[in-house]
Amino acid sequence: MVRLTTIGNFLSGIGLTLLAVAIGVKYLLDSLSAPAAQLVYPFYIWVIALAMLAVVLVISVINTFTEITGFVHPDDKMMSNMLVFIMALGTLLVFGLLEGTDAITQGYLFDMGTMIVIAYIFLFVFVFFGSKISEGAETGQIKEMTSRFMLVSLLLGVIMAGVYLLMSIVKDSLSYTWAAGVLMVFAVALIVLIVIFLGRQYEPVGE
């Protein structure tokens, strides 16, 4: 029987392909000066991709937080959720490219995408420092933990503020299309980096 993880990954691939098709169709119609009735075609394609994202999110939650479908290897979960993350961010940003989306809405979408990426940076930093921060928790060394957490929080705040400033400059300096592309490339690079880093670490997988 095909595993639910495999189905989720397959749907994620289709969803990402549909997003790319929606972008291609949108710019093709613009270049051909297509009538208004045809300009909604990319939106219909985007809606299908959004529906697939909803299904993929449900599958991802089931695989990540339950064992309803049986044991799923941690590496498979990580790769699957990486695709979900990319698809979710792509769906959000592509909506800003569709016909009828004004500059204000595009700004909101870009800011939301930036916050999603910053949240991932939060995870990335705590992957490195989480074990060090929690050292001594089993013996009740709360003050020691708090002291370490203060410094890590300061470092994390500086990094996140720097990323937000950088993305704000990108948004103000480039068109939405190029700014969204820069944000997407940055997000994908960050995700691949953490997956490669964690993928090289040994992790017990249970029975």
- Average pLDDT over every residue of 174-188: 92
Residue 126 pLDDT greater than 80, yes or no:
no
What's the one-letter identity of residue 117? Answer: V
- The residue with greater pLDDT, 18 or 139, is 18
What was the pLDDT predicted at 1? 37
pLDDT at position 207 is 47
Note the pLDDT of residue 140: 63
CA–CA separation, 108 vs 121, rounded Å?
20
What is the widest separation between alpha-carbon atoms in the chain?
A: 70
Angle between helices 176-199 and 142-173 (to 10 degrees): 150
High-pLDDT (> 90) share of the chain, %: 40
CA atoms within 13 A on the CB side of 187: 28
CA nearest to 8, candidates 86, 83, 89:
83
How far is 163 from 155, CA to CA, in rounded Å? 12
Query: Mind listing the pLDDT tens digit for each residue in 78-118?
Result: 888 888 999 999 999 999 998 788 889 999 999 999 999 99
Q: What pLDDT score does 122 carry?
A: 81
Backbone angles phi, psi at 174, to 5 degrees: -120, 165
Q: How far is CA 187 from CA 21, 27, 89, 144, in A?
A: 20, 24, 9, 33
Q: Which amino acid is at 189?
A: A
Mean pLDDT of 20-37: 85
Instruction: Report how far residue 198's alpha carbon sits from residue 185's, in angstroms, rounded to the nearest whole number.
Output: 20
pLDDT band at 147 (very low <50, low <70, confident <90, very high): confident
Report the alpha-carbon distance of residue 140 to residue 202 in Å, rounded: 28
pTM as predicted: 0.83
In the predicted model, is pLDDT for residue 55 greater than 90? yes
CB–CB of 155/185 below 8 Å?
Answer: no
- Taking 90 as the threshold, does the pLDDT of residue 7 lie above it? no
Instruction: Name the average pLDDT for the chain.
Output: 83
185 — pLDDT class (breaks 50, 70, 90) = very high
Between residues 148 and 86, the one the model is more confident about: 86
Residue 204 has pLDDT above 60, yes or no: no
Region 135-163 average pLDDT: 78
In this model, does residue 17 exceed pLDDT 50?
yes
